[in-house]
Structure 1
Amino acid sequence: MSTAESGRIIIDLFTTLDGVAQGPGGTDEDTSGGFDFSGWQAGYPSSGVGGQVMVGMTHLDALLLGRRTYDIFAAYWPHHTDGASGDIGVLFNRVPKYVASRNADIALDWNASSRVGADLASEIADMRARHREVHVIGSLDFVHTLLAEGLFDELKLWVYPILLGAGKKVFDDGALPSVLRLLEPPVADDGGVLLLRYGRTDRVPGVGTFRD
């Protein structure tokens, strides 16, 4: 867990109530495994989420992305630096982008992009030393690695009142057993979308037995 002096690794995910975080933003984002609901978030407009996202990006000064999310962002954000989403586009284009990949020969053409993955724990420690807030957006397969190795400081979930059943979940069976700390009261918008912010701790879940 990071110290008060170090930067933070913040995971940002959109998820359904039953924990599905696969392909929220578009119909062609992620249909792997025969997933029929890619684009489910875009199909449920929410008045409060956009403002919450922008507030959460106030101190972002680097991105840490999985390869699939990086490719989606690199194809979109360089061409969207004005209009309703212009502020995010300008920010994403400006800040350093770290891309998690096992392939040392990948081409990263978006400006200020570099690969990580040779020694993730060491590389994340270096990011904490360099940056105030590094945000991991989407990148679900990579998020599973961070959750398994405890390499994050905050987990931020936008929970939609949708049930999908099948699909890649926020938490798989590899998540490191741990107790998270609620950082602020939950925030809900008029569409029933709930923002939950949890901080990582070093506590391990305890066990016991309830008795009369």
Structure 2
Amino acid sequence: MGLITIEMFATLDLVGQAPGGPEEDPAGFPFGGWQAPLLDEVAGAQIGAAYEGTDALLLGRRTYDIFAAYWPHQDEGEDGDIARLFNAVPKYVASRGTPALSWSGSTQLGPDLAGAVREIRDRHENVKVVGSLNLVQTLLREKLYDRLDLWLHPVVLGVGKKVFDDGAVPTNVRLLAPPQAGPAGTVFLRYGIADGLPVTGDMSRPDRGLADEG
């Protein structure tokens, strides 16, 4: 069984909507492109490394349309390596409509999204979910992911679709590597889903071990 990793860019208040540009999601969201001024070489290298070994992409319809209009034309230049990877691997698209899917290697998923994602996980070793907030909510709800790569940016927007929204359910995660910060203040966090459910405690009670030592 392969790994499904969600790649997500978020603000400090966990807004993940339209980081790349105003055209990504223009309806009623005034901060499209909020990530661009905060992207530095460190974050760029982290993003490139995160995609190494990817053998399939899992995308929502809006993200797919943006990618399909951009990546097939970027085989050269600084984006060439990622472009060649994205163009070569299978692309699976979650959509309730009937998209044209002109990007080579693209397949629309059926109405049983959870079942289709489980089949993709069995078929591939390293599946990446990029953006696609509506799709991410389903994956969070069904716990159909293994890792979450989260780039937390030093900006607060106060409005916009959030990473953990209607799809969030009680889940334990563990930090897989030390946090890494770039010069622009963006912090890269890599989490893995963990067993069990969150537990609670009482901060007003003294630690028994420390109390016994006194």
* TM-score relative to the length of structure 1: 0.92
Q: CA RMSD in A?
A: 1.2
Partner of residue 170, structure 2: 177
Residue identity opposite 2:51 in structure 1: M
Cα distance between partner residues in 2 of 1:194 and 1:10: 18
Secondary structure at 1:43 match in 2: helix
Cα distance between partner residues in 2 of 1:44 and 1:129: 36
- Equivalent pairs counted in the alignment come to 205
**Does the 8 Å contact 1:47/1:191 carry over to 2?**
no
Secondary structure at 2:174 match in 1: strand
Picking from 165, 168, 174, the partner of 2:161 is: 168
Structure 2 gap segments, 5+ residues each: 206-214
Pair 1:109 & 2:102 matched: yes
**Does the 8 Å contact 1:26/1:38 carry over to 2?**
yes
**Does the 8 Å contact 1:98/1:116 carry over to 2?**
yes
Residue identity opposite 1:156 in structure 2: D
Picking from 6, 12, 16, the partner of 2:11 is: 16
Partner of residue 37, structure 1: 31
Structure 1 gap segments, 5+ residues each: 1-5
Cα distance between partner residues in 2 of 1:88 and 1:174: 29
Partner of residue 3, structure 1: none
Cα distance between partner residues in 2 of 1:198 and 1:161: 19
Q: Where does 1:93-172 land on structure 2 (aligned, <5 Å)?
A: 93-103=87-97, 105-172=98-165
Cα distance between partner residues in 2 of 1:206 and 1:7: 28
Alpha-carbon spacing, 1:120–1:173, altered in 2? closer, same or farther (3 Å): closer
Residue identity opposite 2:60 in structure 1: G
Secondary structure at 2:9 match in 1: strand
Which structure's CA Rg is the greater one? 2
1:121 Cα offset (Å) = 2.5
Cα distance between partner residues in 1 of 2:200 and 2:69: 47
Partner of residue 48, structure 2: 54
Pair 1:89 & 2:83 matched: yes
Cα distance between partner residues in 2 of 1:201 and 1:10: 14
Pair 1:188 & 2:173 matched: no
The more displaced of 119-128 and 56-65 is: 119-128
Secondary structure at 1:81 match in 2: coil
**Does the 8 Å contact 2:147/2:193 carry over to 1?**
yes
**Does the 8 Å contact 2:60/2:95 carry over to 1?**
yes
**Does the 8 Å contact 1:25/1:39 carry over to 2?**
yes
Cα distance between partner residues in 1 of 2:33 and 2:172: 31
Pair 1:27 & 2:25 matched: no
Cα distance between partner residues in 1 of 2:174 and 2:202: 23
Residue identity opposite 1:50 in structure 2: G
Partner of residue 208, structure 2: none
Partner of residue 64, structure 2: 70
Deviations 1:1-29 (A, max 9, x none): xxxxx101100011111101100001211
Alpha-carbon spacing, 1:45–1:106, altered in 2? closer, same or farther (3 Å): closer
* TM-score relative to the length of structure 2: 0.92
**Does the 8 Å contact 1:158/1:194 carry over to 2?**
yes
Residue identity opposite 1:15 in structure 2: A
